[in-house]
Amino acid sequence: MALAETFRSRTGPAHRRVTEFGQAPAPEPGLSDLHAWVDAIATLTQPDRIHWVDGSAAENDALLRQMVDDGTLIKLNPEWRPGSYLARSHPGDVARTEGRTFIASERQEDAGPTNNWADPAEMRDTMTEIFAGSMRGRTMYVVPFSMGAVGGPLSHIGVQITDSPYAVASIGIMTRVGADVTRKIAEGEPWVKTVHSVGAPLEPGQEDVAWPCNDEKYIVHFPDTLEVWSYGSGYGGNAILAKKCFALRIASVIGRDEGWLAEHMLLIRVIDPEGNRYHIAAAFPSACGKTNLAMLRPTIPGWRVETLGDDIAWLRPGEDGRLWAINPEAGFFGVAPGTGESTNVTAVETLWGNTIFTNVALRPDGDVWWEGLTDDAPAHLTDWQGNPWTPDMDRPAAHPNSRFTVSAGQCPQIAPDWDAPEGVPLDAILFGGRRATNVPLVVEATDWTHGVFMGSNISSERTAAAEGTVGELRRDPFAMLPFCGYNMADYFGHWLSVGQKLRFDRAPRIFQVNWFRRGDDGRFLWPGFGDNVRVIEWIARRLRGTVGAVDTPIGRVPEISELNLDGVDVAQDDLEEIFAVDPETWKVEADLTEQFYATFDGRVPAPLQAELAALRYRLAEAARSSS
């Protein structure tokens, strides 16, 4: 049988439908649970055939060719983007569906107020009902995957069952897929079960659509049994269950139980002109400069940044008293709009080929385009929905959440050891939000507990920023609000307990950064982008103990004269404003923090409540001394 035909054949009972390419692993005692689970899901979903994914290049090529034939993918011009494709999703399936994302823990209080809780028994009944026959007429793919290097000390494995070939191709980029993972399962290594269906069964003779999905959507996590069930969406984190669902929501639960942290963090290595290396993890909510920092190109001569990861980091205390980190992913699933030559040239260079683009615009020459890629839009495009587009139209050519999926190994500044199984020892952790007011450019925490207090209060302003007041805050503690698989107050406590496992002189130092402070006229006070390395340089000198800091009620900030500002033009008044700490507005900030903590019904750890009380005391002292 021709390789491409293995994705079309439909013969025999569902639990026996395998082909000579993609055979089920040979029966052996260690795989009995896997085979039983696959058979159970096949019996429930009733696919026309089963394909066991082996992760080979030949298999991936056949899958991509089949999706082109089926209209799911458009092959891009190989002269401009070799090995690359464009997918156009259904207009109703374009982003994570947070409102339909559930934590089905046995106890509602374990999910906490920031998650949508569901009764696990009731949700299992619902999942059984909607998944029944959901893969009829389709192929069920069994995808064994590893987060982190297969067999690595910080890695974990899982299996995704899906009826979406788009999801299979994406998982192949974002994780390590193949027989090595299956062997680990056979050896008895624990694995996470994830099940996904687009929810669009086909009746005999029914014509398929390019992007099947369902108006009814569920993304359900069962933390007590380490399972994920996703239904109705073929897009992004709703379908690539190894990403947010496993690597954050489920992994955060595993980390809580095993004593480590699964974090929504970038990971970089900074190298100074003398060759000293600093490993930094940073948690930023969306639209706060995360990808730009992950791929930073420093403006200070002699400084370099090597990318280790752009989105997720797993942090584990080591026997040496340090905190070690890996990037568990193998690829980048990045937002396209706003990524361009002037904002992130490294990302643009990463996308030279072998990339799956989703919901971007198509150029007449067979290449892609999105807002921000270039300063000027092409005169004629086909937009993300397949319609003609010109720059004078009042709609974007690319969807605001359009994406690229690409191997991390293609990044031109990827660290040579970015996928080393043991990871790297962290020197610093950064937390940052998008704050037009109040929060200085950089603040150093006085100790680990103070740093956790900072992380628990990360926020961005919705309104009133230009007026210089504290606007309505969108809270996103540790940039994990949508991704923590259990009660966030307990998560804060887990951070405190992890800190107790580290040597005080080897634990990473914690800093809060804010690239987005504005003046009274609404303009940004800091140039940002590549100049953010000037903050990183100050942090590096703090780590070496070669530069001092100024104590303020909220933490330690630089002496302005000790920032390296050579080659950048920032007015002295702007610099003073960017580090100003106003006790009165920070009292408002403290009140808002108290209100936020109160939503957890007394569950916030006492050390963080003590940090809040200490902040109020220091603010009162500062106000008295200035009056």
DSSP type of residue 316: E
Q: How far apart are CA 221 and CA 215, in angstroms?
A: 20
CA distance 616 to 601: 21
pLDDT for the residue 457: 96
3-state class of 81 per DSSP?
coil
- What's the confidence (pLDDT) of residue 466? 35
pLDDT value of position 469: 52
d(CA 73, CA 619): 58
Amino acid (1-letter code) at residue 133: G
| Contact present, 324 and 316 (Cβ < 8 Å) | yes
Active site residues: 288
CB 500 within 8 A of CB 449: no
Partners of 336 in the β-ladder: none
Binned at pLDDT 50, 70 and 90, residue 27 comes out as low
- Min mean pLDDT across 7-21, 119-133, 522-536, 596-610 is at 7-21
- In the chain, which residues fall in CATH 2.170.8.10? 332-408
Please give the pLDDT value at position 464: 39
Domain with CATH 3.40.449.10 in the chain: 3-73+96-259
Which band of pLDDT confidence, cut at 50, 70 and 90, is reported for residue 22?
low
Lowest mean pLDDT among 83-92, 283-292, 498-507: 283-292
Nearest to 539 by CA among 515, 516, 513: 513
In whole angstroms, what is the distance from residue 93 CA to residue 403 CA? 13
Helix (H, G, I), strand (E, B) or coil at 474: strand
- Token pair, residue 119, equals 């009764």
Fold classified for 332-408: Phosphoenolpyruvate Carboxykinase; domain 2 (2.170.8)
Count H helices, E strands: the chain? 16, 31
pLDDT band at 8, cuts 50/70/90? very low
**Architecture of the 263-330+420-626 domain:** Alpha-Beta Complex (3.90)
**pLDDT tier for residue 288 given thresholds of 50, 70 and 90:** confident
Average pLDDT over residues 452-466: 78
DSSP conformational letter for 503: -
pTM: 0.94
Instruction: List where CATH 3.90.228.20 sits in the chain.
Output: 263-330+420-626
Q: Which of 3.30.2270.10, 3.30.930.10, 3.90.1150.10, 3.40.449.10 would CATH assign to domain 3-73+96-259?
A: 3.40.449.10
**What is the H or E stretch that residue 156 is in?**
strand 156-162
- pLDDT of 580 > 90? The answer is yes
pLDDT of residue 300: 97
Query: 465 pLDDT exceeds 80?
Result: no
For residue 470, name the pLDDT band (cuts at 50, 70, 90): low
Residue 291: its pLDDT value, please?
Answer: 92
Average pLDDT over residues 622-626: 90
Please name the residue that has the structure tokens 């600093």: 278
Please tell me the least confidently modeled range out of 4-13, 195-204, 375-384: 4-13
Q: Nearest-5° angle of CA 49, CA 53, CA 55?
A: 155
Sign of CA dihedral 433, 427, 540, 301: negative
The pLDDT value recorded for residue 618 is 98
- Quick one: pLDDT band at residue 26, thresholds 50, 70, 90? low
- The pLDDT score that the predictor gives to residue 471 is 58
Paired tokens of 272: 């100074």
Q: Is the pLDDT of residue 249 over 50?
A: yes
Look at the chain and count its residues: 627
pLDDT, tens digit (0-9, with 9 covering 90-100), for 520-536? 999 999 999 999 999 99
- When pLDDT is averaged across residues 77-96 and rounded to a whole number, the result is 96
Q: What pLDDT, on a 0 to 100 scale, did the predictor assign at position 289?
A: 87
Q: How confident is the prediction for the chain on average, in pLDDT? A: 93
Closest by alpha carbon to 329, among 507, 188, 152, 88? 152
Average pLDDT value for residue range 98-125: 97
Q: Is 70 exposed, middle or buried (0-12, 13-18, 19+ CB in 10 A)?
A: middle
The pLDDT, as a whole number, for residue 557 is: 98
| Residue 349: pLDDT over 90 | yes
Instruction: Tell me the pLDDT band of 30, cut-offs 50, 70 and 90.
Output: confident
Residue percentage of the chain with pLDDT more than 70 = 94
